[in-house]
Chains A and B, each alone.
Chain A
Amino acid sequence: DIQMTQSPSTLSASVGDRVTITCRASQSLSIWLAWYQQKPGKAPKLLISKASTLESGVPSRFSGSGSGTEFTLTISGLQPDDFATYYCQQYNSFATFGQGTKLEIK
């Protein structure tokens, strides 16, 4: 089974900041990685697929990079609506999620 490790688990930041969340895989995924945003009581929302492809309607301040075993999600110019929990998901072999990163207001 492929294990996914996100860091940090919690991140405190301010509106306007640039933040980066990292996701590491226990084996190579090529580019088969997605990122999701989840707000309390809501279903996850797909932001990025194939490591760096922005989904339709997702603001351009979100970006993804990486390949193999290390991936990053960057949010440039945090907006109030961005404070949420973020998950990575590998789909190179079945599907596995990271444990999540909670982005909090500083």
Chain B
Amino acid sequence: QLQLQESGPGLVKPSETLSLTCTVSGYSISSSNYDWGWVRQPPGKGLEWIGSVSNSGSTYYNPTLKSRVSITVDTSKNQFSLKLSSVTAADTAVYYCARQEGVGKLDYWGLGTLVTVSS
């Protein structure tokens, strides 16, 4: 059974870099034709796609976040990671990792992790 689990600091200071990792279990990232994506949801608000990475490292980013986002994959650890630089309070959100069919539907999701940006 495929499972995804987000991990990383729950509190980040303004202007610093948010870093999260998603660990995939029950499925091999390296053997798949799927991409691996990140989605966020500010408290009480809707969903925003951040970007995705393939098992070969090809990336696709939301144009509105592209200048601040980096998504990488580590197939040896069956993990992929998100870095978001120069964060502000507006980046406070629950961050989800998910399996994505190309830049398409997201069919398996992690439980999500709340990241608060505050000094």
Residues of A at the B interface (CB closer than 8 Å) are 1, 32, 34, 36, 38, 43-46, 49, 55, 87, 89, 91, 94-100
Task: Identify the interface centre among B46, B60, B96, B100: most chain A CB within 10 Å of its CB.
Answer: B46
Q: Is the CB of A91 within 8 A of B104?
A: yes
- The chain A residue sitting closest to B108, CB to CB, is A46
Of the candidates B103, B110, B112, the one whose C-beta lies within 8 Å of that of A95 is: B103
The CA-CA distance from A44 to B102 in the complex, in Å, is 18
Known: A1-B63, A91-B103, A95-B104. Contact between A43 and B109, CB under 8 A? Answer: yes
B residues in contact with A97, CB < 8 Å: 46-49
The CA-CA distance from A95 to B105 in the complex, in Å, is 9
Interface residues of B in 1-56 (CB under 8 A from A): 37, 39, 46-49
Q: Is the CB of B62 within 8 A of A94?
A: yes
Q: Is B84 located at the chain interface by the 8 A CB criterion? A: no
- The chain A residue sitting closest to B100, CB to CB, is A95
Residues of B at the A interface (CB closer than 8 Å) are 37, 39, 46-49, 60, 62-64, 96, 98, 100-107, 109-112
Complex A-B, nearest 5 residue pairs according to Cβ-Cβ distance, in ascending order:
A43-B109, A95-B49, A97-B47, A91-B104, A49-B105
Of the candidates B107, B110, B111, the one whose C-beta lies within 8 Å of that of A55 is: B107
Known: A32-B104, A94-B62. Contact between A43 and B47, CB under 8 A? Answer: no
Q: Is the CB of B107 within 8 A of A46?
A: yes
The CA-CA distance from A55 to B49 in the complex, in Å, is 21
A residues in contact with B60, CB < 8 Å: 94
The CA-CA distance from A1 to B48 in the complex, in Å, is 13
B residues in contact with A89, CB < 8 Å: 47, 49, 105-106
Of the candidates A1, A46, A55, A100, the one whose C-beta lies within 8 Å of that of B46 is: A100
Of the candidates B46, B110, B112, the one whose C-beta lies within 8 Å of that of A87 is: B46
